[in-house]
């Protein structure tokens, strides 16, 4: 067979030289290492021995295919984690890919041991290797290639903290969740000008950014929203890690303000537990819209001109109409009720009926513009001290409420007493 191949190729080298570069004739149940370089030969032999030692099936066809891929890299044992991921992704999910994934794992682990490193000294952990998860191959299952990647945490202080804490855990419970929320916190801190590297500069604003990132990022596996309780649990994993670091002296320079906020201050909201807003009946809304330019003009309001009173009542009506909030929930809005997040303008309001405060509601940009226009006017007004924080201030010092009141007889049932 080799003589026929030699004659067909027309190689000018002597056949004795040419034959040294050719693979031997092998049957389907065989594979050969004679044509590979010495380093690769030793690597494949070691990897096959390790697979055989655990009782894994040796498939010659898969190994022959794997050898072709292995010859495209210098060494599997010294391959970085990033390069290993890219290398394995090219092979999909098949027997060859399974062999290669195990070969990479055995060779890199063996190289680490030779250098005195353990499985917890890497940035990417294999839960089976570190003894926190049973080996599924022992009962005929398959090992997952993806491990716990602490390298996703970009701030050295937070990455070292997470690694130090994880190394002390006797079980896998909480490690995955702590890593997940730490990565979210790291990505949130990346938005700072110093990327969150300087822990001494962190404070309450950064906590708010992290909480908001958790609120926006955490979803179920299918992309559906999760309950606020689960988000709080994940946030607790992060701040338990922070407090662990403080307790054992790993974070001596971290400001005390960088801590878990009180539950009532966290913006986690359940998607399904908020009752829908109640729209104004269409007939009434059409009538009000037709007369929106005259709303509040005939209502005397001490300290406000007729035009200012009109602007205040008009804004209150627009918020009521566009958000479906109850009148009390509208008139008690504060001057800091309007904010923005990644999705647009957000209204912060209080649900007094359910005693749930600091609720956040995405609103239309037109609604936000109306509120902002009134805020510009509101900032020029002189009001009683106790009304200073309300978007719609009360009528006078003697008013029963520091904010606009809702009662029959006032414009849109908005008024003051």
CA dihedral 110, 115, 117, 119 (to 10 degrees): -20
**Length of the chain counted residue by residue:** 417
Q: Residues 50, 102, 36, CA angle at the centre, nearest 5°? A: 75
pLDDT at 373: 95
pLDDT at 267: 54
CB atoms within 10 A of CB 211: 22
pLDDT at 266: 47
pLDDT at 269: 56
Between these two residues, 256 and 94, which has the higher pLDDT value? Answer: 256
HSE (CB half, 13 Å, CA atoms) of 32? 10
Nearest by Cα to 130 from 184, 159, 172: 172
pLDDT at 33: 75
Mean pLDDT of 58-68: 83
- Rounded CA-CA distance 207/260 in Å is 7
Could you give the percent of the chain with pLDDT greater than 90? 25
- Rounded CA-CA distance 23/33 in Å is 8
HSE (CB half, 13 Å, CA atoms) of 155? 24
pLDDT at 264: 42
End-to-end CA distance of the chain: 106
Task: Kindly state the tokens that stand for 334.
Answer: 């504060």
- Rounded CA-CA distance 261/207 in Å is 8
- Rounded CA-CA distance 135/320 in Å is 59
Nearest by Cα to 85 from 63, 65, 108: 108
Under the banding of pLDDT at 50, 70 and 90, the label for residue 287 is confident
Which residue matches tokens 């054992």?
248
Sign of CA pseudo-dihedral 174, 176, 177, 180: positive
The per-residue pLDDT for range 205-227, each reduced to its tens digit, is 898 889 888 888 887 777 777 78
The per-residue pLDDT for range 137-171, each reduced to its tens digit, is 555 555 555 678 898 999 999 999 999 999 988 77
User: Where does residue 107 rank: exposed (0-12), middle (13-18), buried (19+ CB within 10 A)?
Assistant: buried
- Rounded CA-CA distance 415/313 in Å is 8
- Rounded CA-CA distance 244/252 in Å is 12
- Residue 347 phi/psi, 5° resolution? -105, 125
Could you give the percent of the chain with pLDDT greater than 70? 84
Task: Kindly state the tokens that stand for 234.
Answer: 């994940």
The string over 65-101, giving b where at least 16 C-beta atoms fall within 10 Å of a residue's C-beta and e elsewhere, is: bbbebbeeeeebbebeeeebeebbeebeeeebbbbbb
Sequence-ordered alpha helix ranges (H) in 304-364: 306-323, 327-331
- CB-based contact 317:287 (threshold 8 Å): no
Radius of gyration over every alpha carbon of the chain, rounded to an integer in angstroms: 34
- CB-based contact 235:211 (threshold 8 Å): yes
Mean pLDDT of 181-209: 92
Task: Kindly state the tokens that stand for 8.
Answer: 């067909």
Mean pLDDT of 94-106: 83
- Rounded CA-CA distance 35/22 in Å is 7
HSE (CB half, 13 Å, CA atoms) of 381? 29
pTM, to two decimals: 0.51
Residues facing residue 349 across a β-bridge: 359
Range of lowest pLDDT (100-109, 127-136, 306-315): 127-136
Sign of CA pseudo-dihedral 403, 282, 307, 373: positive
Mean pLDDT of 365-388: 90
- Rounded CA-CA distance 292/310 in Å is 9
Q: Residues 369, 276, 332, CA angle at the centre, nearest 5°? A: 50
pLDDT of residue 7 exceeding 90, the answer is: no
């Amino acid at each position: 067979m080799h003589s026929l191949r030699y004659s067909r190729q027309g190689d000018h080298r002597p056949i004795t030289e040419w034959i040294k570069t050719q693979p031997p004739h092998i049957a389907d149940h065989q594979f050969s290492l004679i044509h590979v370089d010495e380093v690769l030969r030793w690597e494949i032999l070691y990897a096959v021995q390790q697979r055989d030692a655990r009782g894994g099936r040796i498939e010659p066809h898969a190994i022959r295919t794997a050898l072709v891929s292995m010859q495209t890299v210098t060494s599997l044992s010294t391959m970085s984690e990033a390069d290993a991921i890219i290398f394995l992704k090219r092979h999909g999910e098949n027997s060859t890919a399974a062999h290669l994934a195990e070969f990479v794992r055995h060779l890199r682990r063996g190289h680490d041991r030779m250098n005195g490193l353990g499985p917890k000294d890497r940035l990417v952990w294999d839960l089976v290797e570190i003894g926190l998860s049973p080996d599924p191959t022992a009962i005929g299952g398959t090992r997952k290639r993806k491990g716990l990647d602490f390298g996703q945490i970009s701030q050295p202080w937070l990455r070292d903290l997470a690694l130090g804490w994880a190394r002390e855990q006797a079980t896998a419970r909480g490690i995955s969740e702590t890593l997940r929320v730490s990565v979210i916190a790291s990505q949130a801190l990346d938005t700072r000008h110093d990327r969150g590297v300087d822990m001494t500069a962190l404070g309450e604003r950064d906590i708010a950014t992290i909480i908001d990132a958790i609120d926006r990022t955490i979803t179920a596996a299918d992309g559906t929203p999760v309950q606020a309780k689960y988000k709080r649990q994940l946030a607790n994993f992060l701040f338990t890690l922070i407090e662990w670091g403080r307790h054992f002296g790993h974070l001596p320079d971290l400001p005390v303000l960088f801590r878990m906020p009180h539950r009532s201050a966290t913006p986690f909201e359940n998607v399904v537990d908020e009752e829908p807003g109640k729209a104004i009946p269409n007939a009434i809304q059409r009538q009000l819209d037709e007369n929106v330019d005259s709303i509040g003009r005939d209502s005397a309001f001490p300290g406000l001109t007729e035009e200012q009173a009109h602007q205040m009542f008009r804004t209150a009506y627009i918020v009521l109409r566009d958000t479906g909030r109850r009148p009390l929930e509208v008139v008690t809005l504060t001057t800091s009720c309007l904010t923005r997040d990644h999705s647009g303008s957000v209204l912060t309001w209080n649900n007094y009926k359910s005693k749930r405060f600091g609720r956040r509601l995405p609103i239309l940009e037109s609604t936000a513009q109306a509120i902002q226009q009134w805020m510009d006017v509101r900032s020029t007004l002189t009001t009683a001290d106790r009304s200073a924080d309300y978007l719609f201030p009360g009528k006078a010092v003697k008013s029963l409420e520091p904010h606009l009141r809702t009662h029959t007889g006032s414009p849109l049932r908005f008024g003051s007493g």
